[in-house]
C-alpha cells in the first residue's frame, strides 16, 4: 500500500542504518531512537551503524576503493602526482575528489545527551560522536542531522589543522537528515572554499564519497574517499527521520564517520552520505541535491527548517482489473485508490475515500502509484508531493463515481498523532500524586529496547503506528508509571494505559489534562483509563502527596517546562522547595 504522508507499519527496509559512529564511542552502547520507520515503526529494526572499518595508513587501499589523501604522498614520496593525474584512470576521479574536498570537508565532533523517556525529568549520560561535513555557500557547513542530534556541544576541524573550532547548529531537518552549522571564528575560514551543488546523477555514473570514516585502531583523522557508481534513484526510507524521500543508492561502503560528507561527481556535489544497508557489502545511500536544495531554501526563506509537504493520504494501487472496473476506471485512465485521509490535511476537505487519484499537477499517476522520472525511470508520486513548498497548491484530478473532477489542494507538513521522533527537545510530563502522565511518542516506545515493536505494550504500539489525529494539538496521553506512595497504593497495575477523561471531560492533550486537574473544584478527582479502569483520589490529599513524592524521588518539578504558565509557576516553585 502506498503511504502518502501517513506513518506506515513496520518498515520493510529493516536493515537500513545511519553511518555516523553514534554507538560504541568510549564504550557507550546506545540505540538510535529515530524511526518511522527510523528506528521507528519501521524503527524497531533500525539501528545506528556500530561497526568500524580498518584502514592501512601506510598504503593506498585500492582493494577496498578507499584512498587517503596523506597516504598518497607517503606512498609516492616527493614524486607524488597531483591528484587527478594518476595513471590508473579508474582511480583518477577519486584523486580529483580529494583535491576538490581538501579545503571544504571538515570533521565534526559532537557531544550529545538524549532524554530519558522513562524518567522524562532526566537526561541520559552524554556521549561523544563524530561525523563529516562540508562547506557550502554563505559560510555554512552542511552535515547530517543525526550527527548533531540532541547536541550539547559541537566542534569542527578542517583538514590539515590540529585546531577545533566551536560551531553552532543553525537549522536541523530531522526528516531529511540534514543540518546547517555556522562557525563565527574568522580564523576557521582562512583558506576554506565552498562546494557547489550539482544535479542528480544518472544510473552507472561514478561518484566519490569524501569524509572521515572511523577505524578500530584510530578515529579517522585523515580525509578519505570511497568510489562508487549509482545503482538506483528512488524514494527510500530515511532511517533517522522516519520519512520516505528521494535517495541515491551507490555501490560504495558508507562507514561510521562518513555521515555528512559530500558525494562528489565531477566538480560538484551530487549528494550527502547518510546511511547504508546492514548486512550487505558496499551498499550505501546519499541524500540527493533536490532534497538538499528544498531543505536549504526553506531555511533561507524562513530562518528555520520548514519540513516536507504531505497530502495526508494512504493510497492503494489499482493494478487489479476487477478493482478498476468496480470503481469505474475507464480504459486508458490510471490512478490509485484513496483508502484513508488525515482529517487535518487540506485534502480531507475535497477528497473522499474511494476516490481514484488520476494525476498530480498534470502528471499522470500509474496504477502502481508511480510517475515518470527520467530516462524511462519511474518513482512514486510521493516525490512530487514532498518537493512542494509549504502552503503551495497542487491540482489533483480524481475519478469519483465514474466522473472526473479536478480539485486544488493546499499542501503542508503534517504531524502524526504520535510523534515519530523528538530530537533536540525535552519530553513533556506531568506528575500528580505519583502518577506520571506523558504524551505517547515513539521514542518512549524505543526505550523498551531494540525489539521495541514486540516488547512494548502492544496496544500503545498499534496506536502509535496507525491512529490519526482528529483535531489540531491532539495527543494520546498515557499513564506511564506510578511513583509508589500511600496515596496511590493499589493502582500500581494501571500503568501504560491511555487516559481518556478527567472528571468526565475528554482529554485533548497533556496540557489539557494538567489544566483539568488543577481546575478541579470538587472533593475527588477521577481519571478514566483504557479498559474502563478508574482512578479516584481525594484532591487535597493528592496535592499534598505530590510534594512529598517529588522530594522523595529528587524530582525538581511536577511538570515539564512546556506545561508551565504564569498561573502555576508559584505552585511549581512551592513543590520544588517543599
Query: Domains plus CATH for the chain?
Result: 14-114+124-301 (2.40.10.120), 313-410 (2.30.42.10), 430-577 (3.20.190.20)
91 φ/ψ sector (left φ>0, alpha ψ -120 to 50, else beta): alpha
CB atoms within 10 A of CB 172: 26
Given a cut of 60, whether residue 126 has pLDDT beyond it is yes
Band (pLDDT 50/70/90 cuts) for residue 375 is confident
198 CB-near residues (< 8 Å, 6+ apart): 265, 266, 268, 269, 270, 289
**One of 146, 174, 421, 446 is an active-site residue; which one?**
146
Q: Tell me whether residue 92 is one of the annotated catalytic residues.
A: no
Specify the pLDDT at position 374.
Answer: 87
* Alpha-carbon span 53 to 215, nearest angstrom: 5
In terms of C-beta density within 10 A (0-12 exposed, 13-18 middle, 19 or more buried), how is residue 522 classed? exposed
* Alpha-carbon span 265 to 329, nearest angstrom: 44
Using alpha carbons, select from 481, 514, 445 the residue that is nearest to residue 40: 445
Given a cut of 50, whether residue 319 has pLDDT beyond it is yes
Q: Tell me whether residue 137 is one of the annotated catalytic residues.
A: no
Residue 472 C-alpha cell reads as 489540531
Band (pLDDT 50/70/90 cuts) for residue 93 is low
**One of 68, 93, 150, 177 is an active-site residue; which one?**
177
* Alpha-carbon span 317 to 329, nearest angstrom: 13
Tens digits of per-residue pLDDT, 446-482? 999 989 989 999 999 999 988 889 999 999 999 999 9
Given a cut of 80, whether residue 492 has pLDDT beyond it is yes
Using alpha carbons, select from 280, 281, 203, 278 the residue that is nearest to residue 248: 203
* φ and ψ at residue 285, rounded to 5 degrees: -130, 140
Band (pLDDT 50/70/90 cuts) for residue 87 is very low
Given a cut of 70, whether residue 26 has pLDDT beyond it is no
* Alpha-carbon span 453 to 461, nearest angstrom: 7
Q: Tell me whether residue 314 is one of the annotated catalytic residues.
A: no
Specify the pLDDT at position 559.
Answer: 96
Mean pLDDT of 119-138: 94
* φ and ψ at residue 514, rounded to 5 degrees: -60, -40
Residue 539 three-state SS: helix
What mean pLDDT, rounded, does the chain reach?
Answer: 83
Band (pLDDT 50/70/90 cuts) for residue 152 is very high
HSE-up of residue 555 (Cα within 13 Å, Cβ side): 24
Given a cut of 70, whether residue 73 has pLDDT beyond it is no
Using alpha carbons, select from 253, 173, 251, 159 the residue that is nearest to residue 214: 253
Mean pLDDT of 244-267: 90
**One of 114, 259, 310, 359 is an active-site residue; which one?**
259
Residue 232 C-alpha cell reads as 538506483
Amino acid at each position: 500500500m502506498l503511504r502518502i504522508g501517513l506513518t506506515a507499519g513496520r518498515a520493510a527496509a529493516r536493515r537500513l542504518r545511519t553511518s555516523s559512529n553514534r554507538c560504541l564511542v568510549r564504550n557507550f552502547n546506545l540505540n538510535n531512537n529515530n524511526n518511522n520507520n527510523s528506528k521507528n515503526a519501521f524503527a524497531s529494526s533500525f539501528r545506528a551503524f556500530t561497526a568500524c572499518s580498518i584502514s592501512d595508513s601506510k598504503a593506498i587501499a585500492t582493494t577496498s576503493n578507499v584512498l587517503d589523501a596523506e597516504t598518497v604522498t607517503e606512498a609516492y614520496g616527493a614524486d607524488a602526482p597531483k591528484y587527478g593525474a594518476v595513471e590508473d584512470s579508474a582511480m583518477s576521479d577519486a584523486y580529483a575528489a580529494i583535491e576538490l574536498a581538501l579545503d571544504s570537508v571538515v570533521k565534526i565532533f559532537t557531544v550529545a545527551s538524549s532524554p530519558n523517556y522513562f524518567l522524562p525529568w532526566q537526561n541520559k549520560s552524554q556521549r561523544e560522536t563524530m561525523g563529516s561535513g562540508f562547506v557550502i555557500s554563505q559560510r555554512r557547513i552542511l552535515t547530517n542531522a543525526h550527527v548533531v542530534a540532541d547536541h550539547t556541544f559541537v566542534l569542527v576541524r578542517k583538514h590539515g589543522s590540529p585546531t577545533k573550532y566551536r560551531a553552532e547548529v543553525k537549522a536541523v531537518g530531522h526528516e531529511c537528515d540534514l543540518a546547517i552549522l555556522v562557525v563565527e571564528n574568522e580564523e576557521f575560514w582562512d583558506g576554506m572554499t565552498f562546494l557547489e551543488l550539482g544535479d542528480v546523477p544518472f544510473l552507472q555514473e561514478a561518484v566519490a564519497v569524501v569524509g572521515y570514516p572511523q577505524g578500530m585502531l584510530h578515529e579517522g583523522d585523515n580525509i578519505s574517499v570511497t568510489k562508487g557508481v549509482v545503482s538506483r534513484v528512488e524514494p527510500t526510507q530515511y532511517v533517522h527521520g522516519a520519512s520516505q524521500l528521494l535517495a541515491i543508492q551507490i555501490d560504495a561502503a558508507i562507514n561510521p564517520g562518513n555521515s555528512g560528507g559530500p558525494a562528489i561527481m565531477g566538480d560538484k556535489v551530487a549528494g550527502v552520505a547518510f546511511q547504508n544497508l546492514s548486512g550487505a557489502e558496499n551498499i550505501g545511500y546519499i541524500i540527493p541535491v533536490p532534497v538538499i536544495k528544498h531543505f536549504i531554501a526553506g531555511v533561507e526563506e524562513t530562518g528555520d527548517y520548514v519540513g516536507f509537504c504531505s497530502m495526508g493520504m494512504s493510497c492503494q494501487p489499482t493494478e487489479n482489473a476487477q478493482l478498476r472496473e468496480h470503481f469505474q476506471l475507464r480504459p486508458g485512465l490510471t490512478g490509485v485508490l484513496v483508502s484513508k485521509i488525515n482529517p487535518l490535511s487540506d485534502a480531507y476537505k475535497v477528497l473522499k475515500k474511494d476516490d481514484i487519484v488520476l494525476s498530480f499537477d498534470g502528471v499522470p499517476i500509474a496504477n502502481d502509484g508511480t510517475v515518470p522520472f527520467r530516462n524511462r525511470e519511474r518513482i512514486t508520486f510521493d516525490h512530487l508531493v514532498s518537493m512542494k513548498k509549504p502552503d503551495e497548491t497542487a491540482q489533483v484530478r480524481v475519478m469519483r463515481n465514474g466522473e472526473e473532477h479536478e480539485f486544488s489542494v493546499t499542501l503542508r507538513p503534517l504531524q502524526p498523532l504520535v510523534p515519530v521522533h523528538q530530537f533536540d527537545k525535552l519530553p513533556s510530563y506531568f506528575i500528580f500524586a505519583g502518577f506520571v502522565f506523558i504524551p505517547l511518542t515513539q521514542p518512549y516506545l524505543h526505550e523498551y529496547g531494540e525489539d521495541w515493536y514486540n516488547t512494548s505494550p502492544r496496544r500503545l504500539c498499534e496506536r502509535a503506528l496507525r491512529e490519526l489525529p482528529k483535531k489540531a494539538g491532539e495527543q494520546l496521553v498515557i499513564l506511564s508509571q506510578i511513583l509508589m506512595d500511600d496515596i496511590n497504593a493499589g493502582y500500581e497495575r494501571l500503568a501504560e494505559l491511555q487516559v481518556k477523561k478527567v472528571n468526565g471531560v475528554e482529554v485533548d492533550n497533556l496540557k489539557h489534562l494538567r489544566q483539568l486537574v488543577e481546575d478541579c473544584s470538587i472533593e475527588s478527582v477521577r481519571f478514566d483509563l483504557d479498559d474502563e479502569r478508574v482512578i479516584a483520589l481525594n484532591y487535597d490529599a493528592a496535592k499534598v502527596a505530590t510534594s512529598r513524592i517529588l522530594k522523595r524521588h529528587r524530582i525538581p518539578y511536577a511538570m515539564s517546562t512546556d506545561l508551565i504558565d504564569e498561573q502555576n509557576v508559584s505552585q511549581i516553585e512551592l513543590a520544588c522547595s517543599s
